Structure 1
Amino acid sequence: MNSNTKTIIGRLESIELPDLAITDLQVRVDTGAKTSSLHVDNIVRFMKKGKPYVTFDIHPDIHNVSRLISCTAPLNDIRKVKSSNGEAEQRYVIKTPITLGDKTWAIEITLTDRSDMNYLMLLGREALGDQFLVDPSLVFLQTITKD
């Protein structure tokens, strides 16, 4: 894909995770991070019809911690991820659709404790694929379009 057909996004964007009922989530776009990560609490792994699942809680509005969304998703993987502080940890990985601007596609997200970070989610380079160019001097270039 050449650069003329790629969508330009900023270092901060607002996304939706429709299968998790999350709208207007501000994310930090991080091309230095391979995998996307999401801050969650109370992760529990369980089996449903012979398949592994996880439940977890998200506080999608950092300014309103009383708002809580409980989510359930199929477990896609468990992998060792090196965090920004250089320590490796085992993380659950889910695969779920994301909407950014007028595009929706499935991405992998690792579930972790990001409570010491400014943004609940990092959007990593694997999720960006070859469809976006990041302009780090700009923010919120893509707004989610509603029909």
Structure 2
Amino acid sequence: MAGTKKPKQLIGALECANLPELGIYNLTMRVDTGAATSSLHVDNIEEFKRDDERWIRFDIHPDIHDVAKTVRCEYKVLSQKKIKSSTATREKRYVIKTRLELGKRAWKIKLTLTDRSEMTYLMLLGRQAMTGKCIVDPGLEFCVSTAS
């Protein structure tokens, strides 16, 4: 039926997701409705120009169980945003747009790139990425995925 919306997907406080454009699969992420933006842990960010556009290079850790393994990525910068972190410090972060696969659904989300090495989870899924797509039950975990 035209115009019919898919029902929102029930997700828990922790879920595993794929970021296939970044080569990341089965990444356990923290779902946080208190955070507006989503963030991903990266290292060694370098900005450069390509065809008069802003791009960045960065290292990611596709396997949380093997942090020595890194993949170098290049991505077009969507924007830069000032973010107040959970520790109340303000930092300027690069924003990219990439595909998120969660359960049987996939859509594009905006991700800020930052150092989350002091955090338990390498990715935080914020409410902007979930709006219109998900309902969160914070008492549940891995509703549409299994822990890696």
| TM-based fold match above 0.5 | yes
Deviations 1:21-50, CA, capped at 9 Å, x for gaps: 111111000000000001100001111111
Q: Per-residue deviation at 1:58?
A: 1.0
Match of 1:51 in 2: 53
Determine whether 1:5 maps to 2:17.
Answer: no
Deviations 1:80-122, CA, capped at 9 Å, x for gaps: 0000011111111111111101111111100001111000000
Q: Per-residue deviation at 1:20?
A: 0.8
Match of 1:72 in 2: 74
**1:69-108, aligned counterparts within 5 Å?**
69-108=71-110
Runs of 5+ unmatched residues, structure 2: 1-5
Determine whether 1:130 maps to 2:120.
Answer: no
Report the residue type matching 1:137 in the other structure: G
CA contact (8 A) 1:37 1:121 kept: yes
Number of residues paired by the alignment? 141
Report the residue type matching 1:35 in the other structure: T
Aligned match for 1:28, one of 27, 30, 34: 30
**Aligned-partner Cα distance in 1 for 2:125–2:62:** 15
Q: Could you say what secondary structure the match of 1:5 adopts? A: coil
Report the residue type matching 2:20 in the other structure: P
Q: Could you say what secondary structure the match of 2:13 adopts? A: strand
Q: Could you say what secondary structure the match of 1:126 adopts? A: helix
Which runs of structure 1 show a deviation greater than 3 angstroms over 4 or more consecutive aligned residues? none
Report the residue type matching 2:75 in the other structure: A
**Aligned-partner Cα distance in 1 for 2:18–2:63:** 13
CA contact (8 A) 1:60 1:120 kept: no
Normalising by structure 2, report the TM-score: 0.91
CA contact (8 A) 2:38 2:112 kept: yes
Aligned-residue CA RMSD (Å) = 1.4
